[in-house]
Structure 1
Amino acid sequence: MDALADVLDGVRARSAEFCRAVLEPPWALRIADGAALALATVLRGHAWIVPDDAEPVLIRPGEVAVIRGPRPYTVGDDPHTAPSIEVLAGGRLRTVDGADLSADALGRRPGEPDPEGAAVVASGTYQVGGDIGARLLTALPAVVHVPRDPAVAPVLGLLAAELERDEPGQQVVLDRLLDLALIATLRAWFARPEAAAPGWYRALGDPVVGPALRLVHGDPAHPWSIAELAARTGASRAAFARRFAGLVGVPPMTYVTGWRLTLAADLLRQTDATVDTIARRVGYANAFALSVAFKRVRGVTPRHHRAAPASAGHLTLGGGAGPGWTHGDG
């Protein structure tokens, strides 16, 4: 595993909220489904992504937009077109006046011709849970726009072809293609100079720090030290520490602590394992050792974190390296 793989492992397409919309101008949709992350691509025509607090983004055929929620935004044929339909959680549709619409109000059956001049937009939302998922969200702007890219195009081609079929197992195929589309899009985005990719992503390609990150993510419970990481990557301790901090943005053991506590935070909320069991899984000797580190870095005990409702307000985001990564074990 590496840092990106761990982050993406908890991000999955939501089957019920996939949509292929056929839209005749003038058109605009108000997206108010509360999704943490959505992907949209234009199969024909064009679409404007219009966040409430950011500049509109034009998407053309073969291009992709990844939109960070959960705040509402508008998608339309023009930035100034007023929305006529709201898209709510669970794929529910209604007019802006509050009248419910049928689930197929935006689509058409496979094989039927699209109206002349209509835009065709495919989109899907993703489940992004816990502190590991938040690590991805904090690395993204309101709208990620990736123009035509040779690494993304094959996945979009498969997605478009699948949408023209109506065969058994189609929803599973679409979900997998949406997951692949997201991964390919994020890779293409982070490779662009304007992306300002987070340090943990940039460092994955470094011949010294990249292997160290893979070691930590592959076995977070191992008793890592700066000396061992340096030796395993063929660098002196001092050179390794400087290189790691320069690329990732935090010292090595700060990163290790942050990653362990991020894993623990999600395990506390997503499993019923005991605090002692979780402590050993993420590299602490016992529940007491984990509680001390958790309270020092995050300001609450593991038990209070588990009992508190899961929301963005409970995430400690900082340092550019990930949630709560502001202190280390030393």
Structure 2
Amino acid sequence: MDTLAGLLDGPRARGAFLLRSILSPPWCLRIQDEAPLTVVAMVRGDAWVLPDQGAGVRMRAGDVAISGGPDPYTVADDPATPPQVVIHPGQRCTTPDGVSLTQAMDLGVRTWGDRLDGPTVMLTGTYQMRGEINRRLLAALPPLLVLPGDAWNSPLIPLLEAEIVKDEPGQEAVLDRLLDLLLIAVLRTWFSRPEGEAPAWYRAHSDPVVGKALRMLHNNPGRPWTVATLAAGTGVSRAALARRFTELVGEPPMAYLTGWRLALAADLLRETEATVGAVARQVGYGSSFALSTAFKRVHGISPQEHRAGRVLEGATASPGG
């Protein structure tokens, strides 16, 4: 498992919100859904993505944007168009003064807008993930990135466009996986570009020594790793590995391992019903007490309190009409 795959292999899309929007100018959507990550692909026409802080970005057909939440932002045909629709948590849509638009703008299966032949078509996929692994990934991204359509060649957008309007058995799982594929493909291309500013852990993956060490840690987080065993596995001395790992990743091997273990534990506590003791053993802690001590030191709450937050977030993210 490489580092990007590892970061996306925890809480991936499960019943993600996906929608095809078809709109006619003038149009303006105020996005206040507090989603931690949203992917927008332009199929036809243009749009402006306007964060509350920072410059807006114009999107054209073929472009893909990734917005990291939970801060609100605006998507419009023109920066001067005032908001006409507000998207709330749970993907509830209203006018700015609170009148529901859910039924009025329904155009069919996962399709929404003012008319089917509108000149602007966007595909939107919204993650509701809040796991620690994804926080590490999100921390590496700008609040808004736009990958130009001419920067890559991928069949994923046409495929997602074709599948998003189908109403067949198992379709939700198909769409979840397509959204994951699109996100990974965009991030991989983005991080390879000069403006992508790939994080240290991503760049380090290409190093023959440190990349191997990272894969070892990601593949077997529960193993009782030491710098010595990592060094033996990579074929260099302990001092050489420690120095090179710290230079490329930005922290020593054991500090990185601790962060990775606690991130995995946070996801397992949220996404499974395993006991704290079972989670502790899976991620390399000898007991529930050892995991609890490390978890509380880093996160300020116990594993049980972290798990309890799952219920509260699930209630917040439940869809409304």
- Shorter-normalised TM-score: what interval? 0.7 to 0.9
For 1:294, what is the secondary structure of its paired residue? helix
SS in 2 for 1:197: coil
Residue pairs, 1:57-96, within 5 angstroms: 57-96=57-96
CA gap of 1:172–1:275, structure 2 versus 1, over 3 A, is closer
| Residues 62, 153 of structure 1: 8 Å contact kept | no
Q: CA contact under 8 A between 1:10 and 1:129: conserved in structure 2?
A: no
Per-residue CA distance 1:142-189 (angstroms, 9 max, x = gap): 1111112565521112223335x6462444433322221111011111
State the alpha-carbon separation in 2 of the partners of residues 17 and 201 from structure 1: 28
Correspondence 1:49-128 to 2 at 5 A: 49-103=49-103, 105=105, 107=107, 114-115=116-117, 118-128=119-129
Q: Which runs of 5+ in 2 are unaligned?
A: 314-321
Amino acid corresponding to residue 210 of structure 1 in structure 2? G
Structure-1 separation of matches of 2:31 and 2:67: 11
SS at match of 1:205: coil
Report SS of the residue matched to 1:80: coil
Residue pairs, 1:1-330, within 5 angstroms: 1-13=1-13, 15=15, 17-103=17-103, 105=105, 107=107, 114-115=116-117, 118-148=119-149, 151=152, 153-163=154-164, 166=166, 168-169=168-169, 170-306=171-307
1:123–1:303 distance in 2 versus 1, CA, 3 Å: closer
Show CA shifts across 1:226-285 (max 9, x none). 111111112121111111111110001111111112222333344443333222111122
Q: Once the 2 structures are TM-superposed, how far is the Cα of residue 90 of structure 1 from its aligned partner?
A: 3.3
Deviation at 1:220, TM superposition (A): 0.5
TM-score of the aligned structures, taking structure 1 as reference length: 0.84
CA shift for structure 1 position 106: 6.1
Q: Report sequence identity in percent.
A: 53
Seen in structure 2, the aligned counterparts of structure 1 residues 104 and 192 have a Cα distance that, compared at 3 Å, is farther
What is the TM-score of this pair, normalised by structure 2? Answer: 0.86
Alpha-carbon separation, structure 1, partners of 2:294 and 2:122: 47
Write the distance in 2 (CA, Å) between the matches of 1:175 and 1:270.
16
State the secondary structure of the residue aligned to 1:188.
helix
Q: Distance in 2 between matches of 1:270 and 1:91?
A: 22
Report the Cα offset of residue 217 of structure 1: 0.8
Q: Which amino acid aligns with 1:115?
A: D
RMSD over equivalenced CA pairs, Å: 2.6
